[in-house]
Amino acid sequence: MSADHPALALRVEPLAPEFAPAAAALAAQLGLPGADATAEFAVQVGPDGVQLVELGPGAPGPIRVDFVAGAAAHRRLYGGGAGQMIAKAVGLQPGVRPTVLDATAGLGGDAFVLAQLGCAMTLLERQPVVATLLADGLARAAADPEVGPIVARMTLIRGNAIDTMAAWADEPPQVIYLDPMFPHRDKSALVKKEMRLFRPLVGDDDDAPALLAAALPLASHRVVVKRPRKAPAIAGPAPSYVLEGKSSRYDIYAKKSLKAKADPA
């Protein structure tokens, strides 16, 4: 997602007086004005954590990261487990749970699915407000007895994915997962609300080819790119193969096979 705040009127505000100190600290961290500033959008600090909301009449409700309830809980309980297309794209199979770098983490939904299925996840998010929402959601989920062990497998890094991958000094991830921002045409209310709030904030990922170019030499086994079903592939090498669903697809750039670790003798 886009690196910094674009030309957008954005402020940080508390939802009650007791949250004023936390809101002031967050405003300083993000380099944003406080509640008195005129703005189109607000990062709000309140009893349910940190949320992003569009201001003004007719605006949709706020967006926050919630791994415990709502859509994340429904998918965790009824999403299909390792039979989901994302699991197949990343290479999950009996005895195989690869280490995955999600280089375009966003709100962490896909990373949470893979962490639930047993993958050790590293999440990269460069847009400061989005990273703040994600960090807040992870912190709240860590206290939940059921979800805490899942998010314990999710490590968030704030920063530019291209630069971070180029300077990577740790053991390479087996799989790198990319879901660059693209003009979505999904008609669902959730996607429309998220896009209405996120599009002005993060824009499109015009550097998607550079993301792919940085990911390919770093991943030890494969790079997976999520795309709208009818969208063109990212400029660069052609994918090795494609998994196609009803509204989206996964372009897989295979380097070598993922295999289960042999049991020690």
Alpha-carbon torsion angle 104, 106, 110, 114, nearest 10: 70
pLDDT at 6: 47
pLDDT at 58: 82
- 103 and 76 in a common domain: yes
pLDDT at 4: 46
- 90 and 18 in a common domain: no
206 is in an annotated binding site: no
Q: Which two tokens stand for residue 180?
A: 């660059």
In a domain, 261, yes or no: no
- 230 and 156 in a common domain: yes
In a domain, 1, yes or no: no
Query: What is the distance between the alpha carbons of residues 39 and 55, in angstroms, rounded to a whole number?
Result: 8
Q: Can you name the residues that pair with 223 across neighbouring β-strands?
A: 176, 253
- 42 and 94 in a common domain: no
Query: What is the distance between the alpha carbons of residues 77 and 86, in angstroms, rounded to a whole number?
Result: 16
DSSP β-ladder status, 248-254 and 241-244: antiparallel
pLDDT in tens, 46-77: 999 999 999 988 888 899 999 998 777 766 76
179 is in an annotated binding site: yes
- 112 and 211 in a common domain: yes
Q: 187 pLDDT band (50/70/90 cuts)?
A: very low
pLDDT in tens, 202-238: 655 578 999 999 999 999 999 999 999 899 999 999 9
Q: Number of folded domains in the chain? A: 2
In a domain, 120, yes or no: yes
User: Which residue, 176, 180, 178, is CA-closest to 121?
Assistant: 176
Residue 3 in this model has a pLDDT that exceeds 50: no
- 217 and 108 in a common domain: yes
Residue 245 in this model has a pLDDT that exceeds 60: yes
Q: What is the CA radius of gyration of the chain?
A: 19
Main-chain phi, psi angles of 196, to 5 degrees: -65, -35
- Domain range for residue 158? 70-254
- 178 and 74 in a common domain: yes
Q: 162 pLDDT band (50/70/90 cuts)?
A: very high
Q: Can you name the residues that pair with 227 across neighbouring β-strands?
A: 249
Burial of 238 (0-12, 13-18, 19+ CB in 10 A): exposed
pLDDT in tens, 90-135: 999 999 999 999 999 999 999 999 999 999 999 999 999 999 999 9
Could you give the angle at the alpha carbon of 197 between the alpha carbons of 128 and 53, nearest 5°? 85
User: Which residue, 227, 225, 229, 224, is CA-closest to 247?
Assistant: 229
- 80 and 33 in a common domain: no
